[in-house]
Structure formats: C-alpha cells, structure tokens
Amino acid sequence: MKTVVVTGGAGFIGGNFVYHMLEKHPDYKIVCIDCLTYAGNLSTLNTALKNPSFKFCKANICDRGSIYGIFEAERPDIVINFAAESHVDRSIEDPEVFLRTNILGTQVIMDACLKYGASRFHQVSTDEVYGDLPLDRPDLRFTEETPIRTSSPYSASKAAADLLALAYHRTYGLPATISRCGNNYGPYHFPEKLIPLMITNALNDKPLPVYRQGLNVRDWIYVRDHCEAIDLIIHKGRTGEVYNIGGGNEMQNIDIVRRICRELGKPESLISFVTDRKGHDLRYAIDSSKLRKELGWTPRTEFEDGLHRTVRWYLENREWLEGIISGEYLSYCERMYGNR
C-alpha cells in the first residue's frame, strides 16, 4: 500500500494518469492536488471520485501552508508533479503566472517532499526545454544530453524547474527523476491545444486556425503511453536522471488538421491560415532510447488508431466539452483568434 500524490490531476495528462494508476495499482491511495485553474476540470475526475482509493484536495501548489498540511496528513511515498501552466500561446500573452506556478510551485512541492520524507519526487517536464530542430535535418533528435535552449516563456519556466529539481537532488539529496515528453493527445484535452481545438472547431463548423503554413513538426504520443512511461520511471527509474519520452511519430500540423477533417467528415475549406506564433518552434523529435533500453518502455498506440479513438471520445463526451466552452474559454478564443 503506497500513497501517491498527483498534482495537476484535474488537467489533461494528470487526469489520465490518475485513471492509469487506479487501474494498474488498485492497492495504492491516489491523492490529487489541484487548484482548478481554467485548465482543471473536476468533471474529468467524476469516475475517480467514486473510487474509495482516490482523494481530491483543492489547493494551489504555490501555497506552502496548504501543501504542507496535505503532506502532513497523507505522508506520500511518491509525488508526481503535473501541475503547471501549460499553454505556449498563453505564456506569450502573460508569462508571470507561468513563472509562479511552474518554478516556485515546483519548489514548494519539492520542499514538502524533503520535509515529509517522500521516497520519490517526479517532475513531469517537456521536450520543449531543448528548443527546436531545423526542418531540413531529419537525422537530428533530442537526447537527454541536448543542451537546454528554450524559446517561449512556458519552456523557459519548465527548464528552470528541471534545473531546480536536479539542484535539489544534488544539494539536498531529493530522490528526484525528470521526464521530458513530446506532444500528447487523447481524452480530456483542453480545447486550446492543436488537436482538441481543431476537433472542437470542426464539430461546430468553425474555422480551423493553422499558424503560418502548418509546416511545423511535432512528435505526437498518445497520453496513456506517456502515463505508462511515468509509472515505470517512478518505480524503476534511477534518481538524479532525466528520461526522454517520445512516440516516434513526427507530423506536420497541416497533416494532422487534414486528418481530423477526414475523421469528422468536414471540408478542408474550414482550414484558415493565420499569423504565426511569435518565436514558433519549428520541429520537435525525441530520442527515447534511454527509456526503452533501461526500463523496457515502448509506446503502444499507432497515431492513426489514437487519433480515431480521440475523435470518438470527443463525439461521445459532448457534456464534458460543453462544460468547458464557457466564459473564460470564449474570451480567450476571441483574444487569440479574433483578429489574427
């Protein structure tokens, strides 16, 4: 019987991870800490909330008093930090909350791990800390040795947290691991990121805003494959180590948007090419051979199948989606795309 704290569990990947853990480790107690920002939805955890092994605590990871109170009561063995501001476009609009949550919030969680003796702290990071790769060098991939070279306030804040976690490991002996994953897709994804935004807009016959010509490349992974990798790392990974996680599935944005149109039977005339994102990273590609060799991980989901399942999920979970398309989301869409 272990107690596992999952911060950010009402968000996209954290929510999927909660379900993964409840299924794979029914003897564990899973405690979710989330302050429910615009990106956190308690409805994502509706099924988990009926499970006696699951507990939800509403708290901000920057609030030291609340976090220490939860750790004092729960004494977690393993802590996985998903909580973050996660959207690049929002970080370009207003970086401050990214620095607060992603850096200072991570520090509070790590201090709590030290104070209450957690045997593992895991930081969920991103391949974006490596910056980008050129479009014309398909031979290049990010390894764990690739220098940190961030482009956006989001990636800079995640890189700062990674460096802080490694410093806590070396200086205070925090038993920390870090994973850097590529772009996730799947159920419960907030419709501001590429795939869920395009599905949501296409469902409503609204324009599909593709930045520039849609030639930028991302390396996509089905969210449950990411969750399996984290599960392996927290149990078998070596502390002080970074593990890259990638689906080995590079695609141009425009190709993805066309596939979504086909899946939904919508015309490609909905596609609208809009002004580029500032500082837009060209290409991400991840070398995850360390994780594959050391821990035997391999992604299971083919993109074709994962995208089909994701589109079906949005079709079958309109209530979840409609709960999200509220005031804050609508004003964000107006700010971001109204005049682009």
Tell me which residues are annotated as active site: 127-128, 154
Cα(69)–Cα(33) distance, integer angstroms:
12
With contacts defined by CB under 6 A, name the span among 56-64, 170-178, 200-208, 295-303 that binds ligand NAD: 56-64
With contacts defined by CB under 6 A, name the span among 101-109, 141-149, 207-215, 326-334 that binds ligand TYD: 207-215
Cα(291)–Cα(324) distance, integer angstroms:
35
Q: Which is nearer to ligand TYD, 128 or 287 (CB)?
A: 128
Binding mask 140-159 toward ligand NAD (x if CB under 6 A, else -) reads: ------------------x-
Query: Least distance from C-beta 151 to ligand TYD, angstroms?
Result: 10
Cα(16)–Cα(203) distance, integer angstroms:
23
Query: Least distance from C-beta 308 to ligand TYD, angstroms?
Result: 19
Asked whether the beta carbons of 84 and 158 are under 8 A apart, the reply is yes
247 touches ligand NAD (CB under 6 A): no
Residue 146 interacts, among ligand NAD, ligand TYD, none and using kind-specific CB cut-offs from 5 to 8 Å, with none
Asked whether the beta carbons of 32 and 211 are under 8 A apart, the reply is no
| Residues 248 to 307 in contact with ligand TYD, rule: CB under 6 A | 253, 277
67 touches ligand TYD (CB under 6 A): no
Cα(273)–Cα(340) distance, integer angstroms:
9
Structure tokens at 236: 């078998």
Cα(202)–Cα(183) distance, integer angstroms:
21
Please list, in sequence order, all residues whose beta carbon lies within 8 angstroms of the beta carbon of residue 331, skipping any fewer than 6 positions away.
none
CA-based R_g, the chain, Å: 19
Closest CA to 53 of 1, 109, 110: 1
Exactly one of 76, 105, 131, 247 binds ligand NAD (CB under 6 A); which one? 105
Residue 197 interacts, among ligand NAD, ligand TYD, none and using kind-specific CB cut-offs from 5 to 8 Å, with ligand TYD
Exactly one of 4, 78, 83, 260 binds ligand NAD (CB under 6 A); which one? 83
Name residue 38's amino acid.
Answer: Y
Q: Which is nearer to ligand TYD, 234 or 336 (CB)?
A: 336
Exactly one of 4, 21, 31, 35 binds ligand NAD (CB under 6 A); which one? 35
Query: Least distance from C-beta 281 to ligand TYD, angstroms?
Result: 7
Structure tokens at 8: 């950010």
Number of Cβ within 10 Å of residue 278's Cβ equals 10
DSSP labels, 153-186: HHHHHHHHHHHHHHHHHHHH---EEEEEE-EEES
Interacting residues with ligand TYD (CB under 6 A) = 88, 183, 193-194, 197, 209-211, 216, 218, 253, 277
| Residues found near ligand NAD in the complex (CB under 6 A) | 7-8, 10-14, 34-37, 39-40, 60-62, 82-86, 101, 105, 124, 126, 158, 181, 183-184, 190
